[in-house]
Amino acid sequence: MDLSFRFCYDPEGEYLTVLSTFVGVYGDAEGEDRLCHFDYERNKADGYPEAHIQVYGASSVLEKWGGNLLERGLHRLHFPAGHRRFRWCLEDVIEFVAREGIADAKPGWAEAIEPGRRRFHQMQLKAAIRRDMDTAIAYLREEGYTIAPPQ
pLDDT computed for residue 7 by the predictor: 97
What percent of the chain clears pLDDT 90, i.e. is strictly above it? 91
pLDDT computed for residue 93 by the predictor: 97
Amino acid at 61: V
Contact between residue 13 and residue 39 where contact means Cβ atoms under 8 Å apart? no
3-state secondary structure of 25: strand
**What are the pLDDT digits (tens) for 64-83?**
998 999 999 999 999 999 98
pLDDT computed for residue 141 by the predictor: 96
Q: CA-CA distance, 27 to 102, in Å (whole number)?
A: 9
Contact between residue 22 and residue 41 where contact means Cβ atoms under 8 Å apart? no
Please state whether beta strands 2-9 and 16-26 pair in parallel, antiparallel, or not at all (unpaired).
antiparallel
Q: How many residues does the chain have?
A: 151
Write down the pTM of the prediction.
Answer: 0.88
Task: For residue 14, name the pLDDT band (cuts at 50, 70, 90).
Answer: very high
- Write down the H helix ranges in 33-142: 60-65, 67-72, 90-99, 109-131, 133-142
Write down the domain spans for the chain.
2-106
Amino acid at 102: I
* Mean pLDDT of the chain, nearest integer: 95
What percent of the chain clears pLDDT 70, i.e. is strictly above it? 100
pLDDT computed for residue 64 by the predictor: 92
Q: CA-CA distance, 34 to 57, in Å (whole number)?
A: 8
pLDDT computed for residue 148 by the predictor: 92
Task: For residue 104, name the pLDDT band (cuts at 50, 70, 90).
Answer: very high
pLDDT computed for residue 96 by the predictor: 97
**What are the pLDDT digits (tens) for 26-51?**
999 998 999 999 999 999 999 999 99
